[in-house]
Amino acid sequence: MTLIASVLVGLIALLHVYILVLEMFLWTTPRAMKAFGTTPELAAQTRVMAGNQGLYNGFLAAGLIWGLLTGAQDVQLFFLACVAVAGLYGAATANRRILFVQTVPAVLAILAVLQA
Give the pLDDT of residue 1. 65
53-100 pLDDT, tens digit per residue, is 999 999 999 999 999 999 999 999 999 999 999 999 999 998 899 999
- Would the CA dihedral through 79, 72, 66, 32 be positive or negative? negative
This model's pTM is above 0.85: yes
Per-residue pLDDT tens digits for 33-47: 999 999 999 999 999
Q: What b/e readout covers 12-38, taking b as 16+ CB neighbours within 10 angstroms? A: bbebbbebbbbbbebbeeeebbebbeb
Amino acid in the structure at residue 107: V
Question: Per residue in 98-112, is it b (16+ CB within 10 Å) or e — as a string?
Answer: beebbbebbbbbbeb
